[in-house]
């Protein structure tokens, strides 16, 4: 059934605060921006981050859990005007596909609309809507032109943040960010660029020394029995401030997360959203 509730935004804030309340064991794993990934490591009170550089139109596997049947894939878009240097093309998530194959549910989110396919039935909303939708196995809350909170079955919940730019901007387009809640509800077999980090991970930082940027020191990270050169930096968390974001300190792993992610980043390219 569909409800238009005056307290929709309050409900969403409660869900968002699960990521940042110290009394809860829930940890957020995020992908946003160009696209940059932030991996929380609570026992270190720190975070690891990395970027993925691929082409507009490519689809990345973010979360894949064969036990719960939940998958999340993201399709990249680029700037309106391609840079003359193809290697420096900015990319963002323009479309996200979240599915639960056991519930026969698919949710497609773009910067313009949200489409829910439940079996053969389709329901569509725009970002101008403020609604709560509850169906069997699905709860979806849309906060007008801000974000949506999505839960499927007993699995994890997700927050998708809408980033809007000036419509006449000569370069940039609207794009999406993905934030996970209750990731502990997914199985130990969960994988994907984000999903693989839902399992415990640890690291050690050694030999902090000046880097090429005096404000961002380099260091050696010991992780997965490997030594990686990492850089201290910041990434934006847009949960509280979708427009400007909040800087989160993290250790940045270079070269598309090489040595941190399982395999290489091209292993996570998939053919379609679903």
Q: In the numeric block, which tokens belong to residue 173? A: 């387009």
Q: What does the pLDDT read at residue 170?
A: 66
The pLDDT value recorded for residue 154 is 81
Q: What is the pLDDT of residue 15?
A: 38
pLDDT, position 84: 53
The verdict on residue 238 lying in a domain is no
For residue 206, being part of any structural domain is answered with no
Full-model pTM:
0.86
pLDDT of residue 237: 80
What pLDDT shows up at residue 12?
36
Residue 263 placed within a domain: no
Q: What integer pLDDT is reported at residue 100 of this predicted model? A: 95
Q: Is 70 inside a domain boundary?
A: yes
> Minimal CA–CA distance to 112: which of 127, 93, 133, 95?
127
**Structure-token pair, residue 115:** 């489409």
Q: Which domain holds residue 138?
A: 2-199
pLDDT, averaged in runs of 10, over the chain (274 residues):
33 38 53 88 92 95 96 92 62 96 95 94 95 91 94 88 80 88 90 93 94 93 96 84 82 96 97 96
Q: Assign 211 to helix, strand or coil.
A: strand
Note whether residue 268 is domain-resident. Answer: no
In whole angstroms, what is the distance from residue 90 CA to residue 172 CA?
9
Domain count, the chain: 1
User: Residue 86: helix, strand or coil by DSSP?
Assistant: helix
Establish if 250 belongs to a structural domain. no
pLDDT tens per residue, range 74-86: 999 998 766 555 5
Whether 30 is covered by a domain: the verdict is yes
């Amino acid at each position: 059934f569909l409800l238009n509730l005056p307290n929709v935004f309050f409900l969403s804030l409660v869900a968002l605060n699960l990521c940042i309340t110290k009394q809860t064991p829930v940890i957020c794993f995020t992908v946003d921006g160009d696209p940059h990934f932030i991996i929380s490591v609570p026992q270190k009170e720190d975070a690891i981050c990395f970027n993925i550089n691929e082409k507009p139109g490519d689809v990345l596997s973010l979360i894949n859990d064969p036990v719960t049947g939940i998958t999340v894939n993201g399709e990249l878009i680029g700037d309106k005007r391609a840079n003359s240097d193809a290697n420096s093309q900015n990319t963002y998530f323009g479309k996200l596909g979240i599915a639960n194959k056991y519930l026969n549910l698919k949710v497609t989110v773009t910067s313009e609309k949200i489409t829910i396919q439940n079996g053969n039935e389709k329901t569509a909303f725009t970002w101008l809507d403020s609604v709560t939708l509850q169906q069997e196995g699905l709860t979806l809350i849309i906060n007008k032109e801000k974000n949506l909170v999505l839960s499927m079955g007993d699995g994890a919940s997700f927050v998708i943040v809408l980033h809007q730019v000036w419509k006449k901007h000569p370069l940039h387009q609207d794009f999406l960010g993905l934030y996970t809640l209750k990731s502990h509800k997914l199985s130990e077999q969960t994988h994907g660029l984000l999903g693989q980090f839902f399992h415990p991970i640890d690291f050690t930082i050694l030999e902090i020394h000046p880097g090429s940027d005096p404000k961002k020191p380099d260091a050696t990270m010991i992780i997965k029995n490997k030594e990686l050169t990492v850089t201290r930096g910041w990434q934006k968390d847009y949960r509280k401030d979708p427009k400007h974001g909040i800087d989160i300190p993290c250790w940045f792993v270079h070269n598309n997360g090489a040595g941190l992610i399982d395999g290489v980043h091209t292993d996570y390219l998939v053919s379609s959203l679903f």
